[in-house]
């Protein structure tokens, strides 16, 4: 089967000098596994980013290192990114046995449309973002789809058992694990309009007196 290709060169530069490589568009990496000693390598940063977007997280890559001859299958074992810019700083590549199954977390890809969201105004809750699966390296998917069209009201919950597993892939996460549901929208109570003024107490200062009442003065008038 055809796999993504990645070329690399042996790397002697280490430590603080690696920053100079990055500035020149070269990405430091290390390859290990398969019973061979780890090797420091460098790859083209732009080429790697294109491959990463196209191939996905769990794709098997044929890595060719100058001077080593035959390409070897590797997986992206770890990617170190800058905390702010998210630019890739370093990559770990793992040599794999294509006949040996691996257990990895695979992202859930939510597809379809939920009536409870579209018509009832609910909010889709992602209860899990990934599930654990086992497969041979060439069969590892970059994501597993979950159809949310059955979420027609606020009572339905989708579980891991609702996932359709690709050929050659075994679900390790418990089938009863809840993955998604729709939350009922919050109904905000409209604030009760406050009365413009509280009803005045009878006889309060400044209020009109009942009709026919006599106004008192500081001294009695003479007859």
For the entire predicted model, the pTM comes to 0.71
Q: Where are the domains of the chain?
A: 5-95, 102-183
Q: Look at strands 178-183 and 26-33 and give their pairing.
A: unpaired
Q: At a CB cut-off of 8 Å and minimum separation 6, what does 153 contact?
A: 115, 116, 120, 182
Please tell me whether residue 131 adopts helix, strand or coil conformation.
strand
Strand partners, 108: 144
What does the DSSP assignment read for 79-116?
Answer: EEE-TTT--EEEEEEEE--TTS-EEEEEEEEEES--HH
Strand partners, 178: 159
Q: Which CATH class is domain 5-95?
A: mainly beta
Position 206 pLDDT exceeds 60: no
- pLDDT tens for each residue of 82-113: 899 888 899 999 999 999 999 999 999 999 99
- Looking at 2.170.120.20, 3.30.1050.10, 2.60.40.10, 3.30.70.20, the CATH number of the domain 102-183 comes to 2.170.120.20
4-18, 114-128, 204-218: the lowest-pLDDT one = 204-218
Give me the pLDDT at residue 216, please.
46
């Amino acid at each position: 089967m055809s796999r993504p290709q990645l070329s690399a060169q042996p790397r002697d530069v280490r430590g603080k000098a690696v920053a100079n490589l990055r500035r020149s568009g070269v990405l430091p990496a290390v390859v290990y596994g398969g019973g061979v000693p780890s090797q420091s390598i460098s790859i083209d940063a732009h080429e790697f980013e294109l491959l990463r977007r196209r191939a996905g997280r769990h794709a098997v890559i044929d890595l060719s290192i100058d001077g080593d001859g035959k390409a070897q299958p590797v997986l992206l074992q770890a990617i170190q990114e800058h905390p702010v810019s998210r630019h890739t700083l370093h990559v770990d590549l793992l040599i794999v046995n294509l006949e040996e199954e691996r257990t990895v977390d695979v992202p859930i890809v939510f597809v379809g449309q939920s009536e409870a969201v579209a018509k009832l105004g609910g909010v889709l809750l992602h209860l899990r973002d990934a599930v654990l699966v086992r497969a041979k390296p060439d069969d590892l998917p970059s994501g597993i789809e979950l159809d949310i069209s059955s979420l027609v009201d606020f009572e339905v919950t989708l579980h891991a058992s609702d996932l359709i597993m690709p050929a050659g892939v075994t679900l390790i996460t418990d089938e009863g694990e809840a993955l998604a549901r729709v939350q009922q929208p919050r109904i905000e109570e409209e604030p009760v309009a406050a009365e413009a003024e509280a009803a005045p107490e009878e006889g309060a200062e400044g209020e009109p007196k009942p009709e026919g009442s006599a106004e008192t003065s500081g001294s009695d008038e003479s007859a």
